[in-house]
Structure 1
């Protein structure tokens, strides 16, 4: 005799879809760090578009699976909230890449690589947090949450250094404007990672 789980499924596909969304976010952050580190004069944007499309596809599949599935491993609202938070990461990173490609000739004196590296680290922590949802290990998730918080705090510290550069007098007015705009976009991308991490952490708190 078939059990209800056999008939309706266990809902484990949601973990796979959330993993895919988190990985798309990390791939986008990794592509940005590579682009900043290599200093391409004409940066290619295909990787960012592909990561965003993968993230959107995962988000749409999650939404459809929530409609089709009778069983979910965690609450439906939490799955939806995490899927939405994850999709915002590659979307924000693509925004930076698109604008950077238009303004790159004005930014040759500015090194975004350290901040991009921090974003990649934050996205990697999010991948770990999403993967760990299967285990609902509060100690492990708390440690990852603290790691993500530390990266966010370091990003805030670097933003203060940014203002020193802005007022240093070595930049022209256009560069000052662009520097502020691009670092704020990067800061928001890290905030997106933090937001996704908070959702994952709260899920474990609720279910542990």
Structure 2
């Protein structure tokens, strides 16, 4: 049964839910960066599971609200697209954390923290972009989009350095395989942030 608030409201709950999803994604990247900085402690996956649970809850609520709401502040397709893009970020982060916890004994001396820091920065920019949807200020959103693009470009540059390390001959075959796999997962996570940012930017372009 529909409530009057749902029927006649302005759909502002969608902004709140998208912000919750973006915050959950950012929290997962902060947890990953923290885990990779603290190499003396055994990896714990609790923070990643919690972030993914929060993300799923936000995603489910968005889906329900899209069914129940007559009014949305932006197009339904855009809400769905942004919700889906945000959902993919902690999913990719958790994939890294799960595999890292299993392979950590083979990764001694390999420092993933700088790349994880860039992922955390990218997710923080996505949070800002999602919050800016309430304002629909194109100039501010363009600044954030440019910032996110710069992070992505720097991540691409670091990937080239990675390949030099892989083919340097200093690593055994297992380490070469693991190094390539883990950095590619991180790269894809940054790409997921970029994709979410592009959706948010395009929403503002359409509505400003």
* TM range, smaller chain: over 0.9
Shift of residue 81, structure 1, vs aligned partner: 0.4
Which runs of structure 2 are paired with 1:120-139 in the superposition (5 Å)? Answer: 120-139=120-139
Match of 2:179 in 1: 179
Runs of 4+ in 1 over 4 A off after TM superposition: 4-7
Partner SS, residue 169 of structure 2: coil
2:65 is the counterpart of 1:65: yes
Partner SS, residue 109 of structure 1: coil
Shift of residue 147, structure 1, vs aligned partner: 0.2
Contact 1:88–1:192, Cα closer than 8 Å, also in 2: yes
Partner SS, residue 133 of structure 2: helix
Q: 1:20 to 1:33 in 2, by over 3 A?
A: same
Contact 2:6–2:70, Cα closer than 8 Å, also in 1: no
Match of 2:167 in 1: 167
**What runs of 5+ residues in structure 2 fail to find an aligned partner?**
none
Contact 1:31–1:47, Cα closer than 8 Å, also in 2: yes
Aligned length: 205
Distance 2:103 2:122 in 1: 25
2:198 is the counterpart of 1:195: no
Q: Once the two structures are superposed, what CA deviation does each residue of 1:28-78 show, in whole Å capped at 9, x if it has no partner?
A: 000000001111452000100110111111011000000000110000000
Contact 2:25–2:90, Cα closer than 8 Å, also in 1: yes
Match of 2:81 in 1: 81
Q: Once the two structures are superposed, what CA deviation does each residue of 1:142-195 show, in whole Å capped at 9, x if it has no partner?
A: 000000000000000000000111011111100000000000000000000000
Which runs of structure 2 are paired with 1:2-81 in the superposition (5 Å)? Answer: 8-81=8-81
**What runs of 5+ residues in structure 1 fail to find an aligned partner?**
none
Q: Once the two structures are superposed, what CA deviation does each residue of 1:102-150 show, in whole Å capped at 9, x if it has no partner?
A: 0001001100000000000000000000000000000000000000000
